[in-house]
Amino acid sequence: MKKNCRIVVWVLIGIVSGLATLTAYVKLFFPVDYMPIIKKYGKEYEVDVSLVLAIINTESRFDKSAVSKKGAVGLMQLMPTTAEFVASTLGEAFDKKSLFNEETNIKYGIYYLHYLFCKYNEVNDVLFCYNAGEGVYLNFINENNGTFDKDKIEIKETQNYINKVNRDRQVYEYLIWQMYWKLSFVMLQ
């Protein structure tokens, strides 16, 4: 009996230490920085928070000073021309330097996702546009008789981008669910 109890205790210790390691891993590879800003504009423009987190993680790894080889800037890796379009649409003055400001970058990125969702509805279509550009997406659709098939995307970077964002989004959905239940539990006490 004592031997069985010891085994159970060691198994429980292993599980708890494994969960601690998993939590550290998840926090390292799936940060949840800037949540108040993401939640604010996600709600305002009706864009899912887990999708925004996944895009930021994929685009910049949460580095607000990131600049790509192609000139995309900030957390959500916005092209200056796209950000200028968003600023104009929102009736705001545009300054390229403002894309390094986390609130402006997230606001413009989320608004742009909202704009794309209004036009294309489906997540994979929106991600294609966000990554490769609307013109490239429209050419792809025309070449494929008006249909979208992710497996027919010839641009491997875009195909990989869509897959990675969707995978990361699933992790973020779980993390958000976990944060919600932890908060609910604390509030009940």
Separation CA 71–CA 74 (nearest Å): 10
Query: Do 102 and 64 contact (CB within 8 A), yes or no?
Result: yes
Give how far Cα 13 sits from Cα of 4, 8, 18, 19, 22, Å.
14, 9, 8, 10, 14
The string of DSSP letters for 43-106 reads HHTT--HHHHHHHHHHHHTT-TT-B-TT--BTTTTB-HHHHHHHHHHTT----GGGGGSHHHHH
Q: How many CB atoms lie within 10 A of CB 1?
A: 5
Q: Looking at 59, 92, 122, 154, which residue is catalytic?
A: 59
Q: Are 136 and 155 in contact (CB under 8 A)?
A: yes
173 catalytically annotated: no
Burial class of residue 73, CB neighbours in 10 A (0-12, 13-18, 19+): buried
Kindly list the catalytic residues. 59
